[in-house]
Every structure is written in C-alpha cells, then in structure tokens.
Amino acid sequence: MTEVPEHLLKRSAERRAALGAPPAAGGAPAAGGEASADDGEKIPAGLLARSQAAGAGAGAATPATTGAAATAAAASSVATAPAPVAKGPEGHTQRLLTVVKAGSIQDVKATPTDKVHVWPHLLIGEFIACLACSAFLLVFSAVVNAPFLAAANFNFTPNPSKAPWYFLGLQELLTMFHPMVAGVTIPGIGIFGLMLAPYIDKNPSSKPEDRKFAISLFTLFFMFWAVLVIIGTLFRGPGFNFTFPWRDGVFFDL
C-alpha cells in the first residue's frame, strides 16, 4: 500500500482541526499533538454523537438504524463542508490553469514586416509591364516604318563608318588606346567593379542621402559612357576625325 506523504497528512490534520472535525482515522497526529483514537474500522465518535443527538430530537432511534443515520449524517457533513484550498509543499496556491497562458498555440495575427513575397507582388507587376511594352512596340511598329539603309555595296565603304550608338563608346575608346586595352581591359574593369558594388555597399536604405557610394559609382559610370557616346555621335566626321557638328554637320544615321 502506498504511504501518504508526511506533509499531506499534516495539512489534512490542520484543515480538519480548523473545520472542527475530529482527526482522521489512522492519520497523522492532530493539531494538539494527540493521536487519533479511531482504528479506521469504527464510525468516528463525533459523528455518532451528532447522529444520536439528531435521533433523540426526532424520536427514539433503534440500534439497527443508528449506523445508517450516522452514515447519512457523515455524508451530509462532508457534502456541506467547504472544499479545502490546495497548497503546494511551499505553501503556493497557484493552479495549473492560472500558470499556463491562455490562448491558441498558433499565432493567427499577421506581424507587420517590410518584406513581401516575389509571387505575386513582384511577378504580377513585371508581367503587366511586359504586356504593356509588347503592346506599345506592336502599335509603334505598325505605324512607324523602320529606317532601313540601302543595300550594302562592297565597292563603296561609307565614310565615316560608325557602329550603332550603344557601341560608339567602345569605338571611341579604340581611337585612344590599344585594342586590348580599349576592348578588354577597361570594359572588364568596369563590369567587375559593378559586380562588386552590392558587396561593398550593403546599406539597405533606399534614401538617396544614405546611398552616397552607390549613387556616386553609378553617376561616374553613366557619365563616362555617355560622354564617349556623345563624342562618337556628334564630334566624329570623315575618317573618324574630330569635328564640330555646328560647322561640318552631323555624320550619323539612325
């Protein structure tokens, strides 16, 4: 048989003494230090006395009904007695449901964030922009004819012979440096520098005053290439020699 812990027996005896009930049979000593006289097999003397007093007030009670009346009185006294307050070993009275926080395990509230998913926020916008650009090119190509040049004649080389505008910056570099430097080294350094820019400037801010390095690098690269394209378009004449457009005209066809 499992033994009841000593601190539980002591608390039970203190509670029974506070309620005016006799000590429990076979339990711990009462609050006064005296041991219980019951052996656990008889009805407690206090219950018998109360049942006899109740029987004497209602009428004579037979010995046969004494046990039943005592049992009923004991049951009613137990039913009407207030429930004892459970305490822990150190006197704590918290219950389990008051310790555990109320609420669902999964948080259903959306937390504010400055990040969004690629789909659908980004891809839908890009898809709409692609459709709009395709529609514009379709309408523009149906209205405006492409400026095709005459058929090429291998006996007649145009002078000056210029590359398309997006290659004129590279063609301008070829007039100043060796082809290896102008066609490989300088463009390679520029592309490599642009590739390293996101790793050098890791500032996530989108404000111009916080992105001075990125803005300076882009401005330097843009102005360098734009100046070369403008010079090759407007300031190069026959033989790809330097000229002034307001004096000799513009030698460039779109």
The answer to whether residue 204 sits within a structural domain is yes
Query: For position 91, what pLDDT does the model report?
Result: 59
Alpha-carbon torsion 43, 44, 47, 50, what sign? positive
> pLDDT confidence of 160, banded at 50, 70, 90?
confident
Segment 178-197 shows an average pLDDT of 90
Out of 44-58, 83-97, 225-239, pick the least confident. Answer: 83-97
- Judge whether 253 lies within some domain: yes
> Is residue 240 included in any domain, yes or no?
yes
224 in a domain, yes or no? yes
The number of distinct structural domains making up the chain is: 2
Residue range 88-100, pLDDT digits in tens: 555 555 555 555 5
Selected residue with higher pLDDT from 17 and 28: 17
Is the residue at 168 inside a domain?
Answer: yes
Strand partners, 242: 236
The top-scoring range by mean pLDDT among 4-8, 205-209, 217-221 is: 217-221
Give me the pLDDT at residue 42, please. Answer: 56
**Domain assignment present for 166:** yes
Write down which residue in 40, 55, 70 finishes a domain: 55
Residue type, 56: A
- Per cent of the chain over pLDDT 70 is 67
Q: What is the CATH number of the domain that holds 215?
A: 1.10.287
Determine, yes or no, domain membership for 232.
yes
Question: Which range marks the domain in which residue 39 is found?
Answer: 1-55
pLDDT of residue 82: 53
Residue 180 lies in a domain: yes
Residue with tokens 């360098």: 224
Mean pLDDT, range 186-203, rounded to an integer = 88
